[in-house]
Every structure is written in C-alpha cells, then in structure tokens.
C-alpha cells in the first residue's frame, strides 16, 4: 500500500544513522514504490517547522558506509528553550503541538524517528498525541532499555579500542600511566567494552564509584610486578566515592573546574604517586566515521523491521534487539528508562577474573 512516511534523526549523531534510513526506505519502497518519504531536517526542529525534503531512491544510494546523518540532527527541542537558535518557536502553540500539527497537515501515515533517550521520550509524547510512531534506538552509549544493543555502540567500541591499542605503545615505551577518557556520561558500556577489548588495566565507570587511593594501590602492584605501564579506561561520567552524592555545582567546585574527569583523576593520582601520567580524550572522534560491519548489518535489520512495523500498522514501538531477534517494544514501557551496566554483567565478571581493577 502506498504510504506517506516521515523520517528524522535526532540527538547526538552516531554511526549507522544513514544505513538505518537506507534500510527503512528500501524496504518501504520494496513493498510499494509509490510510498512517499518525507525527510525532516535537523531532527525534531524540522518537524516543528515543517522543514523537510521529499526523499528519492538515489538519496539513499551510496550511504551505507557514510557516517553522520544526511538529514542533519539537533538535540531534542524541549531542553533548549532559551537557545537563540530556537527563538522562532511557532507562536501560540507548544513545540509538541507544532510537531503534531505538521504530522497532521502532511497527512502522514507514520513517522520513523532515529535517536537516543531524549528522542525516545519525545517520540512517546508524539505517540500519545496521536501520531503513528516507530523509534529506532541509536546511541554510542548503549543505554536504552528494552534492547540488548543500540546502533552506533559497536562502531564506537571499535574506535575506542583502537585508540587504547595505539596508546599502549607509547605507554610501554615511556613506562607511563595513561588515562583514556571515553564517552558515556551516565553509563559505562563503552568504557567497559573498549577497556576489556584493549586490555585496559583499570576500568572506571559511573556504575561503580572509584576510590582514588585504591586505584593508586592497583597501579603500584603493577609496578612491583615489573609492568612498566598502566592503562586506565574511564567513562566521562565516572565519579569517585566522595563525589557520588554531590550535585552538579558541588562537583564542579570539588573538581576545581578541571576540564573533564580524566584530568581530575590525573590530579588525584599525581598527588599520590610519582609515575608519569598522561591523559587522552578522543571525544567526538568516537561518534565519527563509517559504521562497523556489525553496525551495518544491525542497522539494515533494524531498518527493515521498522518498515515491516509501518506496513503492518504496528505503532508506538521501539524496534529493539534480543539476542539474534528483532523485537518491538511499546514506547510507553521504556521511554525515559536508562539501561545501566549491572555489577554482575558477564563482561565485568570476566574482567575481574582477568585482574582488571574497577576502582572499588
């Protein structure tokens, strides 16, 4: 059946956005070449302001390997009320109402949104507001509940692993401690997986508050064992035992406005040991570049399953992954939930047996 389907990418970019959209559109057109796809520009902003492009088959050609998003993206609209960029909010109606109005004005049959936690919350509100929504789980953080995996995560793990692999040589040559700060402000999936994949000696994640004195002790044990270097993989949202109950302002003050957690940890360690310590922060590099082969396959499967759900009229769902299977999870059950690393996660348990220190 020929449908009118909107599509948008929202929130921080990640590898696999384009390959997912390619999967959705190809499967929709395979079902009916007369289906019309509207690509909203720059995330929910495009939906709010009816800013879109009619998408054609050629738009999705050659983008399987392309990083970023051909539609552009922005952080979700509800958090940026005072942002001058967004001053042109439609008058007299809320942003949510403006988005629903665009959906209705265009008589869309469905809207497919690609994004992380914030995107998902808005997707749920749109769904409750009467729009036919399918959400596709994107984030390098892998922190969405209801799915084993989000796309972008494995690609970011590969990049972060390569970074630490590269650091190993300098760490070994100079006999240094390296602190590598990886993305993940609320969860430690990326630091955990990249840390284990690259043989990091210490892994510090938000789910396990660390004790700096114990970190130093672990590094000193390695020195005594005549290991010339140590690698610490730390998630950007990791906190020490003193910091866990601090609010944002207290934390800033306590960290003496150090740029990020890795530099703060460097200061803490330097007070307690004499070994040279260096910091490496790959930052947004982790979200860049081509999706890994794994993510290309995952996003193709997710995209096709999203198209299946649209064709079947099965809305208000996130397409997720459970083992090898694609699943459809009601947005209302998961919107706003964060999937954290549990302390008995098999990767944590295996790493502990390998002698990896988690700071506790």
Binding site for ligand F6P (CB under 6 A): 12, 116, 139-141, 183-185, 236, 287
Position with the least CB separation from ligand F6P: 183
At its nearest, how many Å lie between ligand F6P and the CB of residue 214? Answer: 26
- Burial level of 96, CB count in 10 A (0-12/13-18/19+)? middle
Nearer to ligand F6P, 260 or 275 (CB): 260
Sign of torsion over alpha carbons 217, 221, 224, 230: negative
CB 319 within 8 A of CB 135: yes
**What's the CA dihedral at 131, 137, 141, 143 to 10 degrees?**
70
**CB neighbourhood size of 286 (10 A):** 23
At its nearest, how many Å lie between ligand F6P and the CB of residue 160? Answer: 11
Catalytically annotated residue among 59, 141, 143, 201: 141
Nearer to ligand F6P, 6 or 188 (CB): 188
At its nearest, how many Å lie between ligand F6P and the CB of residue 208? Answer: 18
**CB neighbourhood size of 345 (10 A):** 15
At its nearest, how many Å lie between ligand F6P and the CB of residue 264? Answer: 16
3-class state of residue 225 by DSSP:
coil
At its nearest, how many Å lie between ligand F6P and the CB of residue 205? Answer: 12
Alpha-carbon span 88 to 339, nearest angstrom: 35
Nearer to ligand F6P, 132 or 299 (CB): 299
Nearer to ligand F6P, 141 or 305 (CB): 141
Concatenating the DSSP letter of every residue in 25-52 gives HHHHHHH-TT-EEEEETTTHHHHHTT-E
Nearer to ligand F6P, 6 or 43 (CB): 43
At its nearest, how many Å lie between ligand F6P and the CB of residue 67? Answer: 13
Can you state the angle between helices 261-270 and 212-224, rounded to 10 degrees? 60
Alpha-carbon span 142 to 161, nearest angstrom: 16
Nearer to ligand F6P, 160 or 177 (CB): 160
CB 280 within 8 A of CB 167: yes
Alpha-carbon span 180 to 163, nearest angstrom: 8
The residue assigned the tokens 């959209």 is: 21
3-class state of residue 154 by DSSP:
helix
Is residue 247 annotated as part of the catalytic site, yes or no? no
* Residues with catalytic roles: 141
């Amino acid at each position: 059946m020929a449908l009118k389907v909107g599509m948008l990418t929202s929130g921080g970019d990640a590898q696999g956005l384009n390959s997912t959209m390619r999967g959705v559109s190809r499967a929709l057109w395979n079902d009916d070449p007369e289906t019309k796809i509207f690509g909203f520009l720059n995330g929910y902003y495009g939906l709010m302001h009816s800013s879109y492009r009619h998408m054609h088959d050629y738009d999705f050609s050659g983008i399987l390997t392309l990083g970023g998003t051909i539609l552009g993206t922005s952080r979700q609209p509800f958090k940026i009320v005072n942002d001058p960029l967004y001053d042109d909010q439609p008058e007299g109606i809320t942003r949510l109402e403006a988005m629903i109005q665009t959906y209705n004005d265009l008589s869309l049959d469905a809207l497919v949104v690609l994004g992380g936690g914030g995107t998902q919350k808005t997707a749920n509100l749109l769904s409750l507001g009467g729009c036919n929504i399918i959400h596709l789980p994107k984030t390098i953080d892998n922190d969405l509940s209801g799915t084993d995996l989000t796309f972008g995560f494995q690609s970011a793990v590969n990049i972060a692993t390569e970074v630490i692999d590269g650091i190993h040589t300098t760490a070994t040559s100079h006999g240094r401690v390296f602190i590598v700060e990886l993305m993940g402000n609320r969860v430690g999936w990326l630091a955990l997986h990249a840390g284990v994949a690259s043989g990091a000696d210490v892994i510090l994640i938000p789910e396990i508050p660390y004790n700096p004195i114990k970190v130093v002790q672990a590094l000193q044990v390695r020195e005594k064992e005549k290991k010339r270097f140590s690698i610490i993989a730390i998630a950007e949202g990791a906190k020490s035992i003193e910091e866990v109950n601090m609010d944002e302002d207290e934390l800033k003050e306590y960290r003496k406005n150090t740029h990020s957690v890795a530099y703060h940890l460097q200061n803490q360690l330097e007070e307690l040991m004499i070994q040279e310590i260096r910091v490496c922060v790959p930052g947004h590099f982790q979200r860049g570049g081509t999706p890994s082969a794994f993510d290309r396959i995952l996003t193709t499967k997710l995209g096709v399953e999203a198209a299946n759900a649209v064709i079947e009229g099965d809305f208000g769902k996130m397409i997720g992954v459970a083992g090898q299977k694609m699943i459809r999870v009601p947005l209302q059950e998961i919107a706003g939930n964060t999937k954290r690393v549990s302390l008995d996660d098999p990767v944590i348990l295996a790493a502990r047996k390998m002698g990896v220190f988690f700071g506790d």
